[in-house]
Structure 1
Amino acid sequence: MERLTCLVVPAAGEPFMVVPRLELPAAQASPAGRLGLEFLAWNETEDPFALVARRVAGVERVAVADRMWAMMALRFRDALPGVEQVAAGEVMRRLRMRKSAAEVAALREAGAAIDRVHRAVPLLLKPGRTEREVGKDIADAILAEGHVTVDFVIVASGPNGASPHHELSDRVIQPGDPVVVDIGGTMPSGYCSDSTRMYCVGEPPADFLDYYGVLQTAQSAACHAVKPGMTPEAVDAVARDLIATAGYGEQFLHRTGHGIGLETHEHPYIVFGNHEPLEPGMAFSIEPGIYPGAHGARIEDIVVCTEDGSERLNLTTRDLVIVEH
């Protein structure tokens, strides 16, 4: 919101929360209230940026959250003249990229919850229904299966499947349509789910089956390639090379995967140019896709790098699910 609300973590000293006084009760009732933090409440007539500046006086550099509003970052720059300002993402990246056993357990729980939603999808996909109607039912199921928020629902039927980030539309699902269903939410733990599966309403087009088999092979190979010391670039290449060899390289439009945890997209990114070796506890998606135009396909699992290989956290079938009508 437009009133400054932030966590301040000094290099020396205890962290504290800065909140508008009118939001103090809500902040204290939130999970932050259970952490024993000091709450620095500010009144409407006070300048909260100046309050923070006084508390951190003498520092030479501050890191601001990557997603802090520009107007707030600029106010901090004015309140701390001569202090170098950098993005906090690089500070936080290493802390969040490698998950603890408890965090992996939370992601495993999230994966099981979204798997239950995917198992219900065939009951919702019917010819004559719109993507938006199906998407609403899926969103309801995401909440019913234990998530506290619905982060996204993609139901991309027929030609809409060729757009990787298609949004719900009023397109009516037709017999013979392949349908990309990419869904995710946030659990009470704060950890996220994300999984994509492919469905077809009735008999699938022959050309779709040709490349879907290639996609299955590439996605499986990339998942099995994950191990400590492997680079994200190399994992990306496993999927990309198989797809390119089959003649669909130009139709694989995006990176192979993204890290996941407290946010759906975080480090490490499984993409060309990322040479940082994978380590046990790193969690990310493996989601190659092929998008020729008349339709498209993507298969996505969340994978955790283990001490000697990998673990898939999504366990529903990766075969094309045929929905009878």
Structure 2
Amino acid sequence: MSVVALSGGIGGAKLALGLYRSLPPGKLTVIANTGDDFDHLGLHISPDVDTTLYTLSGLANPVLGWGRRDETWTFMETLERLGGETWFRLGDGDLALHVERTRRLAAGQTLSQVIAAMAQRLGITASILPMSDDPVRTRVATTEGELDFQEYFVRHQCRPVLTGMDYRGAPGARPAPAIAAALADPALEAVIICPSNPYLSIAPILAVPGLRDMLKKASAPVIAVSPLIGGKAVKGPTAKIMTELGIPVSPAAVTDYYGSLIDGFILDQRDASLADGLKSTVKLADTLMNTLEDRERLARECLAFAKELKRP
């Protein structure tokens, strides 16, 4: 058996960890959003990829949800004294990863090759793939002008009113080479769209030409997990963005967005009254992942749901 997960952000990494711990070694492939990638201080930063690497390797900061545990900040403190930009925080240990990635990319390695090497060094047995080795950059239009995603998300803390989004470079991008094989694997049992922000984390992945078709042609069912509980996102700006784009903050809007791509939808049990209005086969579950046990439990429920569904 094998499983493919589409993931971005902290919520996606949490479920990816549950799947990783619930499956035999080597049976999980995580397709990570790279629309959040950007160049900062001369370094190539891959926030969603790194969150996945740190989470699956047990190095993630348990308080922040991003970055490394037991991090030190000498670099940032020194940079601040020198008058450098400090709005995007890079811990000392985290900095090493960015430096090595940038060095490898400059030497001609692809992003896929760099991530695979890092995952091996960190003892990760899952395959972590970028959605593309080609640069795709999420840009957001706001009432204060157009911004790179990290400027909007970190520097401005999502305060500007969002009016639209664009995934720059997507039309000319190609799926990372290993994605096709993962989705065509005869042993594939499930494709899980993690409870990531559909518009910021999953949409950039789906914007890569050919990737949506690969998902539709996969023999295994595609299941999406609701990123909303009681009309709110557990973490992040999902509800704010939906409101500002004129999209109802509801699981129905999420299922409408995914449309025929998904075969099933996992709805939080607190929203059970909304199940009848969804255009998808629904399974109720507790989707709140506060603990490691929660993540493993939800992963098992996703896998069980996949066994109940069959693609035509």
TM-score normalised over the length of structure 2: 0.23
Highest relative contact order (Cα 8 Å, sep 6+), 1 or 2?
A: 2
TM-score normalised over the length of structure 1: 0.22
Which is richer in helix? 2
- Rg: which structure is higher? 1
